[in-house]
Structure 1
């Protein structure tokens, strides 16, 4: 629909206010901008006081002024209190990791509490009423701390959360069970224990709308959907065709009941998959510099904001009255798969050409069973 332009660096974070009225963005320029996205204009911009790239900026569900939590490459977790009329009122450091901190989890029914996960392997709970954070646990791979890239809270049970990082496992924890080396509630991994898959790792993991499933995107691999009650090495669905190799890339659900999966790609495109058929049902170029990292669906209506290496934010709205033709998709999928240095495990698929043919066949056959109708969009808006 339009571009939001104010930042002077790559935009690493997008977050809608819970009521959907505002959008907050964080950038390499160390600033957070609050947008009236409906009008396509910025309401305020403020310095976060981070010393390096801002990776996350999230609204807190508190009354009065706007409260925005941020984390960054400098490891700090900070809280800013801002007013649209007066700008930044206050800023304070809530805590700090010994390495970059990429993601925060905001708890819906505990508005004073923020969870953070850092590359030091530590998970902190930041209670705004306390002067120091509480260490929930430290996640280890063998004897070493595991670099964490993602944390997400269960939508219906804020005591539970999932994390992903520099190995193949998605781990779930209970924030009430604290202490060094606390074991996870459960582990999820799509791969069998083959040596050639040891370098795959999780760049983003999150729950669906009711917490019954977890979605995880893997570096230089595919996107996998797990049943929270499933076994460790089983997955429900696998979504293929994009490329996740250049950055720590996000992934998200789209639709009121998580009907679609949406991800950016190193080719600069955004991909939509049907959750059940695994078919690519939409794709489009969303970053001129070549990499889309962030995808933020609006909480009430079928709008989507994206950002990446470009210095702007793009706002997308549904406009087609017929199913997209998807011209050029097959060539892009083939190029993305060819660019991978390693290959996903698929039964009876042992070479690169076979895998590409199998992927395209699955897309074309399942797409016949998938229709993106205006009826769905009307129901979503309603």
Structure 2
């Protein structure tokens, strides 16, 4: 009997009845995902309508028969993906949108850790009939973006957030913490937001974090200690930093990292950037020269005071530039003979406000008088809150303001939060200077980018997951409502799947079967399987979509999204400021006339 190979799916299927051991079965599963023929047969198998809001996070259980989901409706749901029935659900005490949820390891797929927009972290027993909350942590200030569990460890997990900290929790030491901005569990502290992270499943001691300065940092987690464990984090800093890297074209830019994913063999890491593209790095290919982060781009100081020039304002809940039917503004102006009254009214409001904000007289009035300095804050705060919550503009100016809306800013949520919360966010920011790991003190190595994947659009939401599909392919969600799949080695686009009416945020390949789960702005979970009779991929349609996405990605830059109440208050405020400056302008003109 010849040894099975993971490269030939049909040979593996033929030889499976005569093979022995789990390795042969694993080879067959791997070859399923490495088959381009099967990949191009992927079709929608089932849509699971188990939520009443945007679905922001998905996670398969260890057996691969159930999937965990978290949503804007603050509910956690476990669904059997083969019977399509809800196995367990909990209405949590989260007050904002659930951004990340994972099964806690070695707990029979029943205990879940989750985080949300208000910074709350919950450990929930999904088997309990009442509210299954076991632990609650309020340590983060502002949004908590991501939680990660540790393979084989049922008592520990990590979290990261807008406050610039990465925290390590051990339920054997503490089961609850109600103190805001607590320093006990901090292992990393940085000047800006830590927007995502990943644990290497093959080397669980490796921790990668994605920051809002375009940089990914890799650490040896064994060297990171918490204050609650009696350690002094700063003593082991140099030993813990393995490497720091960013995409070659983004070295002088501030772009949020929306997704990090280690490859199945643990050697590559896939990085997705907001307002840019997808990159593949090999963490074993380290450059020969060390980077001095005190002077490199990995320690760029963030300028939260400066506001970018505003090209366009978008009303929160406006998804007109997303989905399969979205077109660039230039095409819409040609094709739209008679726009709707609502679209016309909103566009006129945004145009007026944009002109007022960019008017030199308004900027002078905003910046020239001390009493009006506070009025200038909403301009920056609007940009910051948009990038914190939705990542709508390419450059990132940091703020630690709590996230006021969904990762996708879905229309089902309270989009009109009082803008005073945004105005005061800079003054309330808490920086943990006495603990944790300050990333500007060390020399680290940097790997080089192996590949760049283009064609999709990642601008509207801060959650835009990317993942590996077997050993030969990578995939990502997109603002055009499609899932893009590329050849890992050549970066050639090989498959498109229309998976959402607006934005595909989360995608999770099955642990071993050629099944895919996706979610986004739509209120359901979509399951995909290779069910088509023949492979299908229209390269011409794909090329047209890629061109549209490239144009619309450029149009999205320097765009801010604001709630309606904020827009009305800003118009009133700016109008009052401009009226107050008119007498001064008249006096200057009169003085000039007298002199002449």
Regarding TM over 0.5, the answer is: yes
1:39 is aligned, of 83, 101, 108, to 83
Give distance in 2, aligned partners of 1:64 and 1:169: 36
Aligned to 2:553: 340
How far the C-alpha of 1:160 sits from its partner, in A, is 1.3
Aligned to 1:361: none
How far the C-alpha of 1:73 sits from its partner, in A, is 0.6
Residues 306, 313 of structure 1: 8 Å contact kept: yes
1:276 is aligned, of 476, 489, 496, to 489
Residues 274-353 of structure 1: pairs in structure 2 closer than 5 A: 274-288=487-501, 290-326=502-538, 328-341=541-554
Aligned to 1:173: 219
Which consecutive aligned stretches of 4+ in structure 1 deviate over 6 angstroms post-superposition? none
Aligned to 1:155: 201
Pair 1:118 & 2:151 matched: no
Aligned to 1:93: 136
Pair 1:137 & 2:187 matched: yes
Give distance in 1, aligned partners of 2:279 and 2:250: 16
Residues 122, 135 of structure 1: 8 Å contact kept: no
How far the C-alpha of 1:83 sits from its partner, in A, is 1.3
How far the C-alpha of 1:190 sits from its partner, in A, is 1.7
Count of residue pairs the alignment pairs up:
333
Give distance in 2, aligned partners of 1:90 and 1:163: 28
Q: Which moved more, 1:125-134 or 1:47-56?
A: 125-134
Aligned to 1:365: none
The structure richer in strand per residue is: 1
Aligned to 1:102: 145
How far the C-alpha of 1:19 sits from its partner, in A, is 1.3
How far the C-alpha of 1:88 sits from its partner, in A, is 4.3
Give distance in 2, aligned partners of 1:68 and 1:335: 40
Give distance in 2, aligned partners of 1:45 and 1:194: 44
Pair 1:28 & 2:243 matched: no
Structure 1 SS opposite 2:73: coil
Task: Indicate how the Cα distance of structure 1 residues 40 and 87 shifts in structure 2: closer, same or farther if over 3 A, else same.
Answer: farther
Structure 2 SS opposite 1:215: strand
User: So what's the TM-score if we normalise by structure 1?
Assistant: 0.82
Structure 1 SS opposite 2:112: strand
2:264 is aligned, of 183, 200, 209, to 209
Task: Indicate how the Cα distance of structure 1 residues 54 and 177 shifts in structure 2: closer, same or farther if over 3 A, else same.
Answer: same
Task: Indicate how the Cα distance of structure 1 residues 42 and 139 shifts in structure 2: closer, same or farther if over 3 A, else same.
Answer: same
Give distance in 2, aligned partners of 1:193 and 1:118: 22
How far the C-alpha of 1:294 sits from its partner, in A, is 0.1
Pair 1:251 & 2:466 matched: yes
Structure 1 SS opposite 2:185: strand
Q: Which is greater in Rg? A: 2
How far the C-alpha of 1:220 sits from its partner, in A, is 1.2
Aligned to 1:75: 119
How far the C-alpha of 1:187 sits from its partner, in A, is 0.7
Q: Which runs of 5+ in 1 are unaligned?
A: 344-382
Deviations 1:198-230 (A, max 9, x none): 132311112111210111001111100001023
Residues 136, 177 of structure 1: 8 Å contact kept: no
Residues 500, 522 of structure 2: 8 Å contact kept: yes
How far the C-alpha of 1:136 sits from its partner, in A, is 4.3
Deviations 1:162-183 (A, max 9, x none): 0102111111112222325935
Residues 211-230 of structure 1: pairs in structure 2 closer than 5 A: 211-230=266-285
How far the C-alpha of 1:193 sits from its partner, in A, is 6.7
Q: Which moved more, 1:258-267 or 1:226-235?
A: 226-235
Aligned to 1:237: 451
Task: Indicate how the Cα distance of structure 1 residues 127 and 324 shifts in structure 2: closer, same or farther if over 3 A, else same.
Answer: same
1:191 is aligned, of 231, 245, 248, to 248
Task: Indicate how the Cα distance of structure 1 residues 339 and 41 shifts in structure 2: closer, same or farther if over 3 A, else same.
Answer: same
Give distance in 2, aligned partners of 1:233 and 1:187: 8
How far the C-alpha of 1:107 sits from its partner, in A, is 0.9
Task: Indicate how the Cα distance of structure 1 residues 211 and 42 shifts in structure 2: closer, same or farther if over 3 A, else same.
Answer: same
